[in-house]
């Protein structure tokens, strides 16, 4: 093999979207929303790196299929309406 030969790398046989790759099983902690405290400011929704927070009419909900449990939502919540609890 010369230095100019191309070596076959990873082959993607079927393109996928993130909707097919649920990543919530990676989580060790999960966010729990206290809807009584939530004022629907949506800071958690803005900061969630996995887009796992769903906007509802008067509060938010967590899509646990995609939430990895990073806790950014709980840290950013000004009302402390989101707490992180151990998974299980």
CATH assignment at residue 63? 3.30.70.20
pLDDT > 80? residue 3 = no
The per-residue pLDDT for range 46-82, each reduced to its tens digit, is 999 999 999 998 889 999 999 999 999 999 999 999 9
pLDDT for 33 equals 96
pLDDT > 80? residue 42 = yes
Q: What is the largest CA-CA distance in the chain?
A: 67
Give the residue numbers spanning the domain of 78: 18-86
* Number of domains comprising the chain: 1
Confirm if 50 and 25 have CB atoms less than 8 A apart. no
The pTM assigned to this predicted structure is 0.77
Quote the tokens at residue 25: 């099983």
Query: In whole angstroms, how large is the CA radius of gyration of the chain?
Result: 19
Give a yes or no: residue 64 inside a domain.
yes
């Amino acid at each position: 093999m010369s230095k100019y030969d191309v070596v076959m790398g990873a082959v993607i046989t079927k393109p996928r979207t993130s909707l097919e790759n649920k990543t919530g099983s990676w989580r060790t902690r999960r966010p729990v929303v206290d809807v009584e405290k939530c004022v629907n400011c949506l800071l958690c929704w803005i900061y969630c790196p996995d887009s796992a927070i769903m906007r509802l009419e008067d509060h938010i909900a967590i899509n646990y299929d995609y939430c990895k449990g990073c806790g950014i939502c709980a840290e950013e919540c000004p009302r402390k309406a989101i707490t992180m609890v151990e998974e299980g």
